[in-house]
Structure 1
Amino acid sequence: MTSRRLLTLMLLAAALPAAAQAAYRWVDKDGRVQYSDQPPPQEVKKFEERKVQPNKGNAQLPFATRKAAETYPVALYTGRECGKPCDDGRALLNQRGVPFSETKLETAEDVAAFKTRFGKEPFVPTLTVGRETEMGFAASAWNGLLDNAGYPAGKR
């Protein structure tokens, strides 16, 4: 095999995405929670196994977006019956290339956590940008929060 062909194969292999790996969680005999990439000892009968993808992080994002995301993380709260307002809010964030976490308020525990955090009844969609909050979808208000946090404007 020629060195050029070998180099090409090595580069292609390196470019392939890493396969999912297993992560295990269990409680040991002393009541301590254990985490490992190896299966638990055989005497442990109850454990969780999760497939974990490697964290690609925000390395592909523009610098301004990465910087804004570090300082002012974005969270979107949605609900089952939200429909178009939640879809429009999600679309706005995606259009601007804003990385965000989404929490769906589906259970009584989800609603209670929302009430505890915001001191109000849930209203979806709700957007948080750092410590700022906007309840309900209004493109101009959401864009204002994102602009103030330093997220690039993207296409509007």
Structure 2
Amino acid sequence: MKTHKLLLLAVACTWAMGASAQWQWIDKDGRKVFSDRPPPQEIPEKSILKQPGGTRAARTAPVAAAPADSASAPAAAGAPRAAASAAGASKDKELEAKKAQADAAEAAKKKAEEEKVAKAKAENCTRARQAKATFDSGRPITQSNAQGERIFLDEAGRAAEIKRIDGIIAADCAR
């Protein structure tokens, strides 16, 4: 029974080793990245810390169709790795396309929000300029107090309201 458990533990450890990350590199932001896929092509060779097999050998570029003679036998041995690299590259391209699509959607959302804010500022500017023209005309201005009664603004109230309107014009009408 003890041998059975020991064998099971050995198999589990061996299986876990195969699942561990085999690539290790420093990305453009200086963070250490662990992956079972090769790093993107823009990562320089000096930033690759570990590759499958524990070496720091150079990455293999995808190999084009080679002639089938005896001289190309070593290249054919690297074909499975190149095929795996090409499959990883297609996944990377899909991820990049999705990221670009998400970035475009985010940019469109941001632009729509900026347009909404600009429209609100334009409306505020128009209202503030109309209010300023009304105050500058010299006509008596009425407001409602806390009890809901209409009262006429005195000079101090009028000056405070003109100062507030000037602040709105300065903030929303500046181009």
TM-score calculated relative to the size of structure 2: 0.23
Larger helix percent: 2
TM-score calculated relative to the size of structure 1: 0.25
- Name which one, 1 or 2, has greater alpha-carbon Rg: 2
